Amino acid sequence: MIDRLLDSARGRVDNADALWRREEQTAVAFESGRLKAAGISEEAGINLRVLANGRMGVAGTTAAKPDPKELVERARASAGLGEIVQLAFPGATAAPLPSIPTFFDHTANASLAELIRMGRLLVERLSRPGCQINVSVQREVADTAVGNTAGARGEYRATGIAVTADLTRIAGDDVLMVYDQYVGADMPTDADLEALVRSVETRLAAALTVVTPPEGALPVVFTPAGLAAVILPLEQALSGKTVLQGSSPLAGKVGETLFDERLSIEDDPLTPGRPASRPVDDECVPSRCTALVERGKVGRFVYDLETAARAKTESTGNGRRGVFGKPHIGYTNIRFRMTDGGRDGGAQQAAPLPSHELGGGLIADIADGLIVDDLIGVGQGNVISGAFSHPVGLAYRVQRGEITGRVKDAAVAGNAYDVLKRIGGVGRDGRWLGARWSPSLLLEGVSVARR
């Protein structure tokens, strides 16, 4: 279909590129321990982008038998009112696309009954008196093909599965919510499911005792889940679109040391076995790893073709698009690495801890502080400035190197750019959470207040 569409576009527009994607999704949901929903859905669609007289136009369709000429005409009509952009599509290359495992037969062939059994097993393992347990299992199988009139082509198959368990306990006016998830391209092993169960159990057990929150500028351990408020400002600031808009505080600072010199962050679409991995992006640009922060120095910003053209640079292969609308910048797999003298440094040299180990082995020397596992309202407010101030959703007090209980009615505040200059410790609990890999981080001088 891609070739037919591009053949129809030749001679009628200056240039064009297109994406075809078919997705099959299977979803299973248990609510309050009972099977609530189970079903399979499938969708396929085509997105076409054209350049006509220097202007960009876009059209898309989910029709079962799309008419290529009609889709081209719609895209041309869109270009009549579109933006002016000097967009250069990548051409054909003799080099093969990167070989990266993104498709797993076990996941693709898993039956609905098998997914239901997995969900029911987790419900049985996690059921507790006085607690409500919800479990969801979502499996996706996708086929993607991209191409352009400059001769570039790419296609791949991908699988993904997400298993999420959340437990809610209501005791009077105290509402406790604990959750965790497994996300991968291949089916979870028995060990993966056991780790998920132990993670929820550990967090629940430590949260049953409620203690008074501390106050002041304190050491705070942010777990991989709790790091979202610290990471989000960086993701926005390292986007080429934000740079072009003039709102990124990192603009013009490539090569400057603005973070702890042991810290490196990369966007890596070539990570094996991850749902966000792919050999080529949605604009036919071959995938490669991009160093966002390198040993504390600001590295590269991420671009798609349009933002790269406007910034007079090249795409980093971060173009993403749906069936409708023009492509946009999208991260793939964000990986945090801590190095010391060219080696994986600090606590990561010791034996790794299980992902359910709260604090990642960082609390032994904390006289008084917090472990933050979940914050409320992340993403709201002026994120790009780096400032964060959020009530805690799930946090634990640490006193004299031990967890004494869960804190309520507390908030943490700070600035991501400041706290990442002084990382006090790196946990041995590095793990994937969705499309991000990170260990727990001990950040000094975070403001903790009672509410």
Q: Note the pLDDT tens digit of each residue in 358-385.
A: 888 999 999 999 999 999 999 876 788 9
CA distance 410 to 236: 27
The whole-number pLDDT of residue 311 equals 95
Strand partners, 142: 23, 158
Q: Note the pLDDT tens digit of each residue in 97-149.
A: 889 999 999 999 999 999 999 999 999 999 999 999 999 999 999 999 999 99
SS (H, E, C) 140-209: EEEEEEEEECCECEEEEEEEEEEEEEEEEEEECCEEEEEEEEEEECCCCCHHHHHHHHHHHHHHHHHHCC
Domain coordinates of the chain in residue numbers?
2-208, 211-450
Q: What are the 10-residue block averages of pLDDT along the chain, 451 residues in total?
A: 92 96 97 94 96 95 94 96 92 88 96 96 95 97 97 96 96 93 96 95 95 96 94 95 95 96 97 97 97 97 97 97 96 90 40 74 95 91 88 96 96 95 93 94 95 81
The whole-number pLDDT of residue 1 equals 86
218 touches 448 (CB < 8 A): yes
The whole-number pLDDT of residue 354 equals 67
SS (H, E, C) 308-361: HHHHCCCCCCCEECCCCCCCEECCCCEEEEEEECCEECHHHHCCCCCCCCCCCC
The whole-number pLDDT of residue 344 equals 38
Bridging pattern class, strands 55-61 and 216-222: unpaired
Q: Which CATH superfamily is domain 2-208 in?
A: PmbA/TldD superfamily (3.30.2290.10)
Q: How far is CA 229 from CA 29, 65, 244, 382, in A?
A: 28, 44, 23, 12
The whole-number pLDDT of residue 340 equals 59
The count of other CB atoms within 10 Å of the CB of residue 339 is: 17
Supply the DSSP string of 8-30, one letter for each residue: HHBTTBSEEEEEEEEEEEEEEEE
The whole-number pLDDT of residue 347 equals 38
CA distance 9 to 13: 6
Burial of 308: CB neighbours in 10 Å, binned 0-12, 13-18, 19+ = buried
Q: Which two tokens stand for residue 444?
A: 């000094």
CA distance 358 to 206: 9
The whole-number pLDDT of residue 348 equals 40
The whole-number pLDDT of residue 351 equals 65
132 touches 167 (CB < 8 A): yes
The whole-number pLDDT of residue 422 equals 87
The whole-number pLDDT of residue 109 equals 96
CA distance 69 to 57: 15
CA distance 319 to 17: 12
Tokens 């799309």 belong to 66
